[in-house]
Structure 1
């Protein structure tokens, strides 16, 4: 059965929601099995603790870039109308939001996508952090914090189109984007060999990146055959977390979309992966200090992610895979903010480096 027949049978809203759910399931499985986490990669990098988590992140990043740029090069995908490129962007929002999100990652000991994965495994710290993250993200979008977000975003803006496209700016073209991704894939392989990274982590990291490219491709293909407007988008967890929160709090009958399917899909995929790996375990807070720290981290990530236009996945990988300028600035801000926060709050003594938390 082709896409047209399936759409006629189930309806466009159902198809796009099921697409988000399916891709979310695979992301959850790959992220759980590989321990994919930008925060852990940043901590390893700044503390010089090895390259295990850094390798996983690089496999995800490079795979997303290579696959996305290949899809564009062969004509299967067009991202020119994606919000990361077409709409007016905020350079100030990307930088400040990225810094805040990076600080929040360190405080909460994980980014927003990692919180979803851990919550599905029984981590109550991650569950509370994720809920607060979603509330703050919604407040930043259209609530109490929206005036502050709008003001910060307006400080330094950039027009949509070619000005936001780094490949167009540097005249590299999409083949150049593929080559760029291959360079980072080579780096991932090099660091993986140094760390003696297992095939599970290598394939899991690559799988995370491929789900991001697949999301771009699927939403574009559905949009080209839909009578309704279907945004070309990939994975992100700031806006979608807020959308799911509002769906739960709103009266029945609210419209469904890709984002509504994505978040529960990630939770389901992570739960199934943890169940298969016998890693389901209830965990809570150790004390009041740690709870305050996680709450502060959730607030920073919720506001920072909405200000930056995406989270560690939404801006850091999805946006970066289409070479959106603001996404790259947000990613740089996340690495810098997390590095500064790690040095100020968590940097261990050189002779007693603890193992990274999964």
Structure 2
């Protein structure tokens, strides 16, 4: 997809992201595809249907990325954010993932689900969105009149020294492929994706559940489609072809048309796919900037697309319903959940879609760590909530926490503090 002007290329880049997100938003609402719900069904009821849908989405995206990258049609090596960076920020992935997992459980859904619920009329999710937006924005942007961000103030000095510099990029293909990382990425991507797909499809209940299959398939294809579009929209100028990022960073002053609006960040024009925490922060920045086109990014368009898609399906299905907090405790849970998702999603460099599907589709080790941490944080939180509900005053936080770890087989059974229920 090569265009003769930057303006044309940028429009396709942005509107394609919006259109794909709109379809994804509608289908996710229709099928109730929910990563927090997937963990809840598995932990509380032993039902793996939605968990398999999540895994199926990952498998579809991973298989597609492996093939497209080998053919030169997807460029995750150049991704924004840099999933495959040589710098493995494992502690940020781990802590951020745990925080995000706890937060999405308290807030009744992840970043993507928050957008879906807003489209369906849930005002509780508007609060969650606002909290995530403020925290995510100031995690990466300085406070007014300062050069400090929330990340530099709260995290940088103690968490960044734990980062590990690797001799290669951090994806599994580069780590095991030696001087043939491209072939290793293809082989590993295809093999792992087929194993994951086999896990999902092994269940007859999953195969017979149209919504679970459709939800996983569409989310996976949406992530893959975004990788393809953002990797292949190019600009032709003076007989040369440029990626959007390179055009803005290197050729803007020489080749940009007078009508073109220079994006505030050239990095936001890199190959990328869906993630929702940082883009929610970008959406706040776009609004604070007076809806300046220079601040309009693929991520912002994806936020609008998912909300609108969900809203349209809610109207079509007559499921649109205004919802408000049931109690003060419900309000506090959503508030705290939004805070944890804002911090955790930026620290971990993504969410249940941004890392656990988009990031893992690149085989990045940091993304895999984040995926595991999100599931663990969510599962432990659900177990704690369950034991405190059943045992009430008898179940202190510590007793519920230890018992949750025993249930998840992370501690020996001898340490159990509360009887299993």
- Aligned pair count? 346
1:218-297 matches, within 5 Å, as: 218-223=229-234, 225-226=243-244, 227-228=247-248, 229=266, 230-255=269-294, 256-297=296-337
Query: 1:125·1:294 contact (CA, 8 Å) conserved in 2?
Result: yes
Q: Distance in 2 between matches of 1:275 and 1:53?
A: 24
Q: 1:98 to 1:180 in 2, by over 3 A?
A: same
Q: Is the 8 A contact 2:97 2:371 kept in 1?
A: yes
Provide the residue aligned with 2:205 in structure 1.
Answer: 194
How much does 1:272 deviate? 1.4
Closer, same or farther: CA 273–114 of 1 in aligned 2, 3 Å: same
Hey, what's the Cα distance between the residues in 2 that align with 1:10 and 1:139?
29
- Aligned CA distance change for structure 1 residues 195 and 15 (closer, same or farther; 3 Å): closer
In the superposition, relative to structure 1, how do residues 258 and 58 fare at CA in structure 2: closer, same or farther (>3 Å)? same
- 1:119 paired to 2:118: yes
Residue 78 (structure 1) shift: 2.3
Q: Runs of 5+ in structure 1 lacking a partner?
A: 350-358
Which aligned pairs between 1:63-212 and structure 2 lie closer than 5 A?
Answer: 63-82=60-79, 83-86=82-85, 88-142=87-141, 143=143, 145-146=150-151, 147-159=153-165, 162-171=168-177, 172-191=184-203, 193-195=204-206, 197-212=208-223
Q: 12, 18, 34: which one pairs with 1:15?
A: 12
TM-score (norm 2): 0.77
Partner of 1:289: helix, strand, or coil? Answer: helix
Please provide the CA RMSD for this pair.
Answer: 2.2
Is 2:344 the counterpart of 1:304? Answer: yes
Q: Deviations over 1:54-110 (max 9, x none)?
A: 122122111111111121122212221221113634111000000100010111111
* Structure with higher RCO (Cα < 8 A, 6+ apart): 1
- Runs of 5+ in structure 2 lacking a partner? 144-148, 178-183, 235-241, 249-265, 391-421
Task: Give the SS at the match of 1:71.
Answer: helix
More divergent stretch after superposition (169-178 vs 261-270): 169-178
Match of 1:356 in 2: none
Partner of 2:357: 317
Report if the CA contact (8 A) 2:107-2:334 is conserved: yes
Distance in 2 (CA, whole Å) between partners of 1:65 and 1:290 is 37
Shift of 1:153: 3.8
Give CA-to-partner distance per residue, 1:281-326, whole Å, 9 cap, x none. Answer: 1111101110000100000010001011111111111000001111
* 8 Å Cα contact 2:170-2:364 kept in structure 1: yes
| 1:84 aligned counterpart, secondary structure | coil
The residue that corresponds to 1:40 in the other structure is: 37
Instruction: Compare CA radii of gyration and give the structure with the larger one.
Output: 2
Structure 1 distance, partners of 2:374, 2:173, is 22
CA distance in 1, matches of 2:165, 2:77: 13
